[in-house]
Amino acid sequence: MFISNLGAAPKARYHKTGPIEDLNETIVIWEDVANSTLNHPDLSIFLDNLGMALVHRFQATLALEDLNRAVVVNSEAVNSMSIDHPRKRIRLNNLGSALHALFERTGSLKDLNRAIAIWEDLVEDSTNRPPSERAFFLSNLANALRCRFERTEAMEDVDRTILFNEEAIKATTINTPARADYINTLGTALQCRYDRTGSMEDLHRAIAVYEDTLKSAAQNRSSPRASYLNNLGVMLRVRSVHRKSLKEMNQAIALMEDAIKLTPSDDPERPKFLSNLGVASYCLFGHTNSMEDLSRAMEAHEEAVAITSNDHPTRATYLLNLGRFLRNRFDLTSSLRDLKGAIATNEEAASLSSAIPSQRLTGARHAVRLLGTTDSQRSYALLRAAVQLLPSISPRSLNRGDQQHTRSKFAGLATSAAAFALEAGEEPFEALQLLEIGRGVIASLQLDVGYDITTLEASHSGLAGRFKSL
């Protein structure tokens, strides 16, 4: 136990002053302790401390190896404990947090689903626990469900997110330090549901919730104020578009600028804040037609892309936005450099394996539209890869309504792919295979497969006839 306490000293020093060497020393010490005390009754404590230190180092260095090791070590900590151990809930929560962090870094739904299952069990077992403990587990579960909704658009997940956040808030007092985080998470869930349904009630409520978050955060100096400012700014920007209010738009931009000023250059949240400011500047451009506002939007996204690792899931979001802005400037200036840039950014988004599948499909479709008929081979390659992704945008775990919603966004993709396959000189069999994938996706919903194939009929009527006869 003495050596374990020795490991706590450099960890405390790291939290105070930040040298990564202290964290490295902590990890080495706890690795030695865990390896030399395999039969010790406190082994789960040593493993849990090691897991948390690895997560901290990942947050500082973004080394994926540390996060993968943290999941393994935290799993070992849980497995080394008896079922009724009083500290097992905390170990399970830490494992859930490591799995959630791994999902955010890699986009692996398998890891996120595992985290959700852990927190669902913890919530179920916390009925008779102290309200603060139950609220903590509810909030973690809600956060994970919201992340899954953002990837799959399952309405059940976002509805449960809102319900669990509301319960977590009710379980706290106004002086509870975590209350502002719970309120903020509720606002984010309402924002997600608004994005899906367009409910103005959710939009107005999200703004009120974010305003409440800032008030609650004023009582807690350690709160992530930058995140709260950013979130409120995003929703004010959305409402300003509905109201056509330039005043509210400028207010939103000011909040986002404040958020960025509070965010260190190496903070993992900074790319997201920059992207949101860029989108707001682009919306302002819609009011002013000022090229300065459009340039600002592009610069913010160029920086967001530059500081985001090449395999990070959120990179696709920034690339798609940057591609849209480049396309807009091309429409205004006819700059071929902007057109090539717009195509390249959308192509990169389409190729990012960790990104949300629907974003990859969007990138492919946008790139093909920009290419037009200038490069059939390139368009065919993009659409062929996109068609292969179609089944993944609406897994069988989604209900029928959610599946229809996600698939309707990409109607006609398979027929376009088939047409470009033939334009690129591929065999008719290849085109038919692409059509079959599209047909299979729709048939799995037990829908009428007689969808629009006018694009194919216009260029290859014979193949279209063969497809109809299948």
pLDDT at position 39, please? Answer: 72
pLDDT at position 264, please? Answer: 92
pLDDT at position 382, please? Answer: 97
91-101 pLDDT, tens per residue?
999 999 999 99
- For 277-282, the CB contacts below 8 A with 24+ separation are 277/233, 277/253, 278/304, 278/321, 278/325, 279/237, 279/321, 280/233, 280/234, 280/237, 280/249, 280/252, 280/253, 280/256, 281/253, 282/321, 282/324, 282/325, 282/328
Whole-angstrom distance, CA of residue 369 vs CA of residue 378? 12
Across 393-400, average pLDDT: 78
357-373 pLDDT, tens per residue?
999 999 999 999 999 98
The answer to whether the beta carbons of residues 346 and 364 sit under 8 Å apart is: yes
Count of C-beta atoms within a 10 Å radius of residue 219:
13
User: Is pLDDT above 70 for 117?
Assistant: yes
pLDDT at position 454, please? Answer: 59
Residues 6+ apart with CB under 8 A from 315: 305, 308, 309, 349, 352, 355
pLDDT at position 284, please? Answer: 96
246-295 pLDDT, tens per residue?
999 999 999 999 999 999 998 999 999 999 999 999 999 999 999 999 99
Maximal C-alpha separation, the chain? 80
Whole-angstrom distance, CA of residue 44 vs CA of residue 36? 13
Across 138-156, average pLDDT: 95
Across 307-313, average pLDDT: 95
Domain boundaries, the chain: 224-307, 309-371, 386-470
- pLDDT tier at 381, thresholds 50, 70, 90: very high
Whole-angstrom distance, CA of residue 77 vs CA of residue 49? 9
CATH of domain 224-307: 1.25.40
Angle between helices 376-389 and 428-443 (to 10 degrees): 30
User: Is pLDDT above 60 for 452?
Assistant: no
- Mean pLDDT in the chain? 88
DSSP H or E stretch at residue 48: helix 43-61
The answer to whether the beta carbons of residues 385 and 426 sit under 8 Å apart is: no
pLDDT at position 446, please? Answer: 47
User: Is pLDDT above 50 for 326?
Assistant: yes
Q: Which of 137-146, 270-279, 405-414, 428-437 has the lowest mean pLDDT?
A: 405-414
